[in-house]
């Protein structure tokens, strides 16, 4: 395998909205998982986080949401340190979270799940209509309980619930896990649409091909540490670097 | 007198037990369902409701209905406030850890009990019912002239006892409406389903917990205010409601409100009937036996969902 020069990242565009992790250390109880992890996602950009199982991708998202406390470091949204806020204030600042495994409010109906998304940032009825236009299937299932939806519909609902916040930043943790190609494509289109409206998107994904077709930049992580960050363009041209970090 | 009138009498007593028990147990069930913690001090909140009702009615004086009306509102609010305080100062600090919460609420039980003993004293005190008209109940008998209505001596109840049943039904409907139809109920149900996701969608879980703990205690206190004109207030009166509430909540399915109500009616009625015909002790023994059977054959309770 010939060595490839690691491409330089695009310089950050100052002034634009962004989500930034500054050397965060975090874990569960005393077990540290994340070590000095730094990341930066610009507004209108898709940053993809790649890493093996157990690398700490989900933990990163939970740390951003304030669901696990930071040992040190900071999470900045638009320059504001949100890591000091109580956890329920984090989404209210404009972060939509689509967790791994969907984690819907299962006993609640589609309508109620969306209502909770709307309440977080006091979004209005127009937001609901916009979101339902993105996922017309949810309109048909509106009074159905979340646990009775199909896997694909559940993922739509998880995505729709997060979009109901009108997020400035969106965290997606393996949104295409276990979905058929047409459903993956639908999710992909929504992500791209969100990028166009200027949302900062942090995407965790196992399927490298799916990632490379939408990502602007790719960040690799290993054992809770951030590794190289590269333009997706370079990876599309040269696959070998991907194998180095996520190959089996 | 034949068996029939006795049965009616016993069912009526049972219905009152059931009504009060349903209120108390729904409070316990709400706390367990949403917060996933067991509140051993629940019976003491019940007792506080009765004692505060006695205290308020004594202070206000005048016609019984006025003092009782005030107590019916103020006692649950005061007990609810005490519970919210306990939640914020104790349970929150334990991070709602299930085991540590059990130990902490056992401590709370003794603190409340002893403080009541020191201030209120060891005696039982009655509270006058706001109204108490005796109502005779007719019975049909086969006499010489065919079927006739008779009014057996001793078969009767009071308007207050019927009002207790009515009030419990109204409050339970209110709780159900709140959970199913209001915004705060939606937030509580979401918190119950997935605490972390509730946080991740902006629900102030700690405030919901404090509110639920306060509401649970207020329901127990309300039940006690309703029963205190029939039963008298005493600093040790919290034991039975706690035991019966646990029985009801386990039989009904932990955290299931409809299950809790059905189980309360079942246990309350059978408790009344068995107590009248046999003995109150036998009623408790059978109820406890039923719990054992439910735990063996249907651990999720009669109405609980499997696999939580
Ligand atoms: N609740 C938890 N308590 C303790 N340790 C945990 C917990 N959740 C995850 N971990 C540990 O943290 C490490 C990182 O897990 P994480 O879920 O963040 O990995 P991941 O990169 O998302 O993996 P995957 O691709 O499988 O989803 C793992 O070693 C895991 O065992
Ligand atoms: Mg993960």
C-alpha closest to that of B248 among B269, B263, B258, B233? B263
Q: How far is B27 from chain A (nearest CA, A)?
A: 21
Q: CA-CA distance, A192 to A204, in Å (whole number)?
A: 15
Return the top range by mean pLDDT from A168-182, B78-92, B151-165.
B78-92
Give nearest CA residue, ligand 1 atom 24.
A53
Contact A108 B196 (CB under 8 A): no
pLDDT of residue B151: 78
Among the listed ranges B49-53, B167-171, B275-279, which one has the minimum average pLDDT value?
B275-279
Contact B200 A87 (CB under 8 A): yes
Q: CA-CA distance, A140 to A136, in Å (whole number)?
A: 7
CB-based contact, B183 to chain A, within 8 Å: yes
Q: Which residue has the higher pLDDT, A146 or B152?
A: A146
Cα–Cα distances in angstroms (integers) from residue B129 to residues A130, A177, B230, in the given order = 58, 64, 8
> What's the half-sphere exposure (Cβ side, CA atoms, 13 Å) at B173?
6
Contact B199 A87 (CB under 8 A): yes
Residue B56 lies in a domain: yes
DSSP of B227-288, one letter per residue? HHHHH-B-TTTTHHHHHHHHHHHHHH-TT-HHHHHHHHHHHHHHHHHHHHHS-HHHHHHHHH
The answer to whether the CB of A62 is under 6 A from ligand 1 is: no
Q: CA-CA distance, A129 to A111, in Å (whole number)?
A: 12
Q: CA-CA distance, A156 to A89, in Å (whole number)?
A: 24
Question: How many structural domains are present in chain B?
Answer: 1
- Show the CA angle centred on residue B280, arms to residues B275 and B282, nearest 5°: 100
Residue B235 lies in a domain: yes
Write the ipTM.
0.90
DSSP code of B125? Answer: B
Residue B307 lies in a domain: no
Q: Does the structure show a pLDDT above 50 at A11? A: no
Contact A67 B199 (CB under 8 A): yes
pLDDT of residue B241: 94
Task: Find out whether B108 and B231 touch, Cβ atoms under 8 Å.
Answer: no
Q: What integer is the mean pLDDT of B242-255?
A: 89
Q: CA-CA distance, A87 to A109, in Å (whole number)?
A: 24
C-alpha closest to that of A130 among A46, A214, A193, A200? A193
DSSP code of A148? Answer: G
User: B59-87 burial, b if ≥16 CB within 10 A, otherwise e?
Assistant: ebeeebeebbeebbebbbebbbebbbebb
Q: Does the structure show a pLDDT above 70 at A8? A: no
pLDDT of residue A12: 47
Q: Between A62, A89, A108, which is nearest B193 by CB?
A: A108
φ, ψ for residue A53, nearest 5 deg: -55, 130
Tallying the residues shown for chain A, one arrives at: 248
Residue B247 lies in a domain: yes
CA A144–ligand 2 middle distance (angstroms): 28
Token pair 């009526």: residue: B12
CA B208–ligand 1 middle distance (angstroms): 28
What is the helix (H) or strand (E) element at residue B158, kind and residue range? strand B156-158
Cα–Cα distances in angstroms (integers) from residue A241 to residues A2, B51, B100, B228, in the given order = 10, 74, 50, 76
Q: Does the structure show a pLDDT above 50 at B31? A: yes
DSSP of A205-241, one letter per residue? -S-HHHHHHH-SEEEEEETTEEEEEEEHHHHHH--HH
A113-143 pLDDT, tens digit per residue, is: 999 999 999 999 999 999 999 999 999 999 9
Q: What integer is the mean pLDDT of B31-41?
A: 94
DSSP code of A109? Answer: B
Residue B84 lies in a domain: yes
Residue B179 lies in a domain: no
The pair of structure tokens assigned to B108 is 């709370």
pLDDT of residue B1: 52
Task: Find out whether A49 and A202 touch, Cβ atoms under 8 Å.
Answer: yes
Contact A120 B201 (CB under 8 A): yes
The pair of structure tokens assigned to B223 is 């039940």
Chain B residues in contact with A116 by the CB 8 A cut-off are: 186-187, 190, 198, 201, 203
The answer to whether the CB of A207 is under 6 A from ligand 1 is: no
The answer to whether the CB of A31 is under 6 A from ligand 1 is: yes
What is the helix (H) or strand (E) element at residue B174, kind and residue range? helix B159-181
Q: How far is A113 from chain B (nearest CA, A)?
A: 8
Q: CA-CA distance, B108 to B103, in Å (whole number)?
A: 9
Chain A residues in contact with B180 by the CB 8 A cut-off are: none
Task: Find out whether A202 and A90 touch, Cβ atoms under 8 Å.
Answer: no
The answer to whether the CB of A35 is under 6 A from ligand 1 is: no
Q: CA-CA distance, B230 to B223, in Å (whole number)?
A: 12
Look up the domain containing B148 and give its range: 3-171+204-297
Residue of chain A whose Cα is closest to the Cα of B190: A105
Residue B70 lies in a domain: yes
Chain A residues in contact with B179 by the CB 8 A cut-off are: none
Q: Where are the alpha helices (DSSP H) in B36-158?
A: 42-60, 64-86, 98-120
Task: Find out whether A130 and A190 touch, Cβ atoms under 8 Å.
Answer: no
Contact A87 B186 (CB under 8 A): no
Chain A residues in contact with B183 by the CB 8 A cut-off are: 119
Please count the other Cβ atoms lying within 10 Å of the Cβ belonging to residue B234.
Answer: 19
Domains and CATH numbers, chain A: 19-103+167-246 (3.40.50.300)
Average pLDDT, chain B: 91
How far from the centroid of its chain's Cα atoms is residue A4's Cα?
28
Among the listed ranges A229-238, B15-24, B45-54, B60-69, which one has the minimum average pLDDT value?
A229-238
Residue B305 lies in a domain: no
Ligand index nearest the alpha carbon of residue A246: 1
């Amino acid at each position: 395998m010939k060595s490839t020069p690691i491409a330089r990242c695009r310089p950050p565009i100052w002034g634009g909205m962004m989500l930034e992790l500054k050397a965060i250390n975090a874990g569960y109880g005393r077990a540290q998982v994340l070590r000095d992890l730094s990341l930066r996602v610009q507004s209108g950009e898709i940053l993809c986080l790649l890493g093996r199982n157990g690398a700490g991708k989900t933990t990163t998202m939970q740390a951003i949401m304030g669901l696990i406390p930071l040992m040190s470091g900071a999470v900045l949204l638009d320059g504001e340190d949100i890591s000091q806020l109580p956890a329920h204030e984090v989404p209210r600042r404009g972060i939509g979270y689509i967790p791994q495994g969907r984690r819907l409010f299962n006993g609640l109906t589609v309508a109620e799940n969306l209502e909770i998304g709307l309440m977080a940032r006091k979004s209005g009825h127009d937001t609901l209509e916009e979101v339902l236009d993105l996922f017309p299937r949810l309109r048909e299932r509106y009074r159905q309980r979340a646990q009775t939806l199909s896997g694909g519909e559940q993922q739509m609902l998880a995505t729709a619930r997060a979009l109901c916040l009108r997020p400035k930043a969106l965290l997606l943790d393996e949104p295409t896990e276990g979905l058929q190609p047409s459903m993956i494509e639908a999710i992909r289109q929504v992500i791209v649409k969100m990028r166009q409206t200027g949302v900062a998107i942090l995407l965790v994904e196992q399927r490298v091909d799916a990632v490379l077709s939408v990502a602007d930049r790719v960040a690799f992580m290993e054992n809770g540490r951030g590794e190289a960050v590269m333009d997706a363009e370079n990876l599309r041209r040269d696959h070998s670097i991907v194998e180095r970090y996520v190959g089996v | 007198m034949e068996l029939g009138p006795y049965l009616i009498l016993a069912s009526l007593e049972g219905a009152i037990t059931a009504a009060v028990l349903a209120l108390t147990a729904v409070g316990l069930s709400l706390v367990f369902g949403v917060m996933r913690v067991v509140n051993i001090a629940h019976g003491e909140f019940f007792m506080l409701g009765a004692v505060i009702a006695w205290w308020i009615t004594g202070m206000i004086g005048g016609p019984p209905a006025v003092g009782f009306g005030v107590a019916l509102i103020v006692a649950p609010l005061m007990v609810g406030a005490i519970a919210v305080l306990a939640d914020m100062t104790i349970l929150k600090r334990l991070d709602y850890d299930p085991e540590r919460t059990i130990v902490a609420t056992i401590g709370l039980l003794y603190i409340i009990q002893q403080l009541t003993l020191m201030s209120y004293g060891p005696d039982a005190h009655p509270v006058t019912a706001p109204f108490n008209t005796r109502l005779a109940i007719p019975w049909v008998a086969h006499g010489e002239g065919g079927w006739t209505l008779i009014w057996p001596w001793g078969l009767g109840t009071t308007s207050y006892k019927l009002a207790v049943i009515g009030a419990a039904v109204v409050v339970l409907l209110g709780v159900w409406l709140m959970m199913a139809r209001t915004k705060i109920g939606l937030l509580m149900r979401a918190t119950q389903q997935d605490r972390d996701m509730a946080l991740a969608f902006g629900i102030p879980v700690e405030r919901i917990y404090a509110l639920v703990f306060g509401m649970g205690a207020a329901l127990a206190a309300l039940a006690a205010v309703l029963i205190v004109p029939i039963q008298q207030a005493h600093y040790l009166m919290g034991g039975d409601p706690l035991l019966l509430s646990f029985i009801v909540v386990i039989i009904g399915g932990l955290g299931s409100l409809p299950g809790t109500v059905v189980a309360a009616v079942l246990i309350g009625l059978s408790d009344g009937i068995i107590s009248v015909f046999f003995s109150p002790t036998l009623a408790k023994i059978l109820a406890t036996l039923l719990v054992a059977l439910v735990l063996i054959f249907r651990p999720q309770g009669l109405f609980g969902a499997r696999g939580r």
